[in-house]
Chain A
Amino acid sequence: MAELTLSGVCKTFGSLQVIRDVDLQIEDGEFVVFVGPSGCGKSTLLRCISGLVDITGGTLEIGGQRMNDVPAAKRGVAMVFQSYALYPHLRVRENMGFGLKVRKLSKPEIDRRVEEAARTLKLESLLDRFPRELSGGQRQRVAIGRAIVGNPEVFLFDEPLSNLDAELRVHMRAEIAALHKRLGNTMIYVTHDQIEAMTLADKIVVLRDGQVEQVGSPRDLYYRPANAFVAQFIGSPKMNLFEASGLPADILQTARPSAAAIRAGLRPEDMQVLGAGEGPVSGRVVNNEYTGAGSLLHLDLDGLGRCLALYNGGDSPEEGAEISVGFDTGRLYWFDAQEQNTEVA
């Protein structure tokens, strides 16, 4: 069993507190993704779990065992690095078997495990090459292979796809998802790409300034964000936020937000862009970004300011066109003065 429990985990570097009192429960076999903006502490938290960074306070348990002071190699975790971190002077075979050799496994056993992992990742033909002779995707697969051979209980991925081009990233994303299905191990994955987080995760942990903002399934986070930060971070393009006082009275009457709500959120995909005078709020198109299937419109709405709207179809209004927008009141989110979602307990 490889469930993880983080209780009050803190990490400080000198006077700088990078991780603040993180409580988290990760179940055996779960695929958990840490997301958040740059500098939010997601990689540091992963490194605390790996043992590469010592925890300053709190407790980390893996499989029920306290791991705070256990060396990285003895925690039963394996890590895949953003830069792959393959040893340049060793061939693929030696790279994959390096950890096993350090653990003094017999050569036949090392060969067996390396070949088995190579079969799983379709690396058989590359085993005698050096890392410099591989493409980015192949290096990534070797890095994953190196993690697999040790039969770890927990896999840790630190932004493993960020050095790959867009097409390869989509392909590798699918491979990692398939690998999780096949191996069934607990996997913790760090990314700043929320599409990666949404597509891979059983559970997403959103971090900001070293604190957990919300934990939940991708759907939970998308449909029931705990606060304005999560609401804006999850979903692309990001959610629009409006001052509630600027909304037309009939929308407020229909939506009936709680008294505490001072801001309203609406996702760009839920904005209805209509012709001038057809909707309750009028405005104009500031910029039209054509995306093929549709357009992303940058709008300037009277009394509400700038916002984004997704427009499906090819006949989107041109830059400078006068438009109006309609609000689907059922899709509005309401946030109080502390930016908390007033409809989520």
Chain B
Amino acid sequence: MTRFQSPFVRICWYLSLAILAVPFVFPFLWMLSGAVKSQTEIFSPSLSLLPQTWHWENYAEVFRYQPFARQYFNSLYIAVVVTAGSLFISSLAGYALARIRFAGSGLLLLMLISALMMPEEVTIIPNFFLMKWLGLMNTHMPLILLPMFGSQGVMATFLMRQYFTALPPELEEAARMDGLSRFGIFWKVALPLSRPALAAVGIITFLFSWNLFLEPLVFLSDIELFTLPLALSNFTDAYGLPLWHLQMAATSLAVVPILIVYIAAQRQIVESFALSGVKG
């Protein structure tokens, strides 16, 4: 849209965009609205977003119903550890694959790329037995190790490798002339220059870990150890039916870090999806 368009055309554009946004924005508003409604009002025939009675106590109930604060903390620290670990491992591995010539590096890269093609669900049973054998059942370790060394880690390594490959080799040669070792070149030249890629990998990894559902479901049984996606599915009554008002309130709280990350790093997120070639 150019800035020379007439006000009428512009209004039409904005109107069309606003209509198109409804299917995306409405569920979010419905979630916020449901979070302060009673269970019965949610199912009332009225589709009003504004509740008849505001039930702010739903938020307090979320924390009484199960150890939600603890679960929130679990998700947060796991996501941070996974992100930090993935950045460390993927940058080192990506640099090695991009810059160091060693026997079998091509084959290794091919194996990594083929690993990207494999759906995660396929590996869940062998991973289950592996973690059981390692004595890591009902701990957070599978939730940390599997994203770091599994398909997400491979994706992160591949992205970093692609970025390092595109860095001009002359910069590293100049650093060699300046007296840096291989690790010095990585640490002082290649890594500071790969900040956009690190940001992209960091964001993708954080979102991946934050949204992880299957692994917590398979590996965790203690409610104190649950992460948010699993905790959200746990707001049910005695018959196993969802308590929608609590789920809505808990979900509203669960999206806060994601919203913060998104608002703080909007540009990098868009770039990261462009860089990774994956859809959001």
Contacts and interface: CB of A to CB of B under 8 A. Distances in A.
Interface of A: 50-52, 71-74, 77-79, 81-83, 85-89, 98-99, 102-103, 146
Contacts, number: 52
A162 to B, nearest CB: 13
Contacts of A71: 176, 179
A83 B170 CA distance: 7
Interface string B64-97: 0000000000000000000000000000000000
A342 to B, nearest CB: 44
B170 A102 contact: no
B174 A73 contact: no
A89 B192 CA distance: 7
Interface string B164-176: 0000101101111
A103 B174 CA distance: 14
A178 B254 CA distance: 67
B174 A85 contact: yes
Contacts of B184: 102
Contacts of A72: 176-177
Given A87-B189, A89-B193, A102 B173 contact: no
B113 interface: no
A102 B174 contact: no
Contact of B171 (A73, A78, A87): A87
A99 B179 contact: yes
A74 B176 CA distance: 10
Contact of A52 (B176, B189, B192): B176
B193 A73 contact: no
B178 interface: yes
A102 to B, nearest CB: 4
Contacts of B199: none
Contacts of A83: 168, 170
Contacts of A87: 171, 174-175, 189, 193
B180 interface: yes
B178 A73 contact: yes
A190 to B, nearest CB: 14
Nearest to A50: B177
19 contacts: A51-B176, A52-B177, A72-B177, A73-B176, A73-B178, A74-B179, A79-B174, A81-B173, A83-B170, A85-B170, A85-B174, A87-B171, A87-B175, A87-B189, A88-B193, A98-B175, A98-B178, A102-B178, A103-B179
Contacts of A146: 174
Interface in B147-201: 168, 170-171, 173-180, 184, 189, 192-193
Contacts of B192: 89
A78 B189 contact: no
B136 to A, nearest CB: 40
A209 to B, nearest CB: 25
Nearest to A90: B192
Contact of B170 (A73, A77, A81): A81
B178 A85 contact: no
Given A52-B173, A102-B184, A85 B179 contact: no
Given A85-B170, A89-B192, A79 B179 contact: no
B182 to A, nearest CB: 11
Contacts of B193: 87-89
Nearest to A73: B179
Given A74-B179, A77-B177, A102-B180, 8 more contacts: A52-B173, A71-B176, A73-B179, A73-B180, A81-B174, A102-B178, A102-B184, A146-B174
A98 B178 CA distance: 7
A191 to B, nearest CB: 17
A74 B189 CA distance: 20
A48 to B, nearest CB: 13
Nearest to B178: A99
Contacts of A77: 177
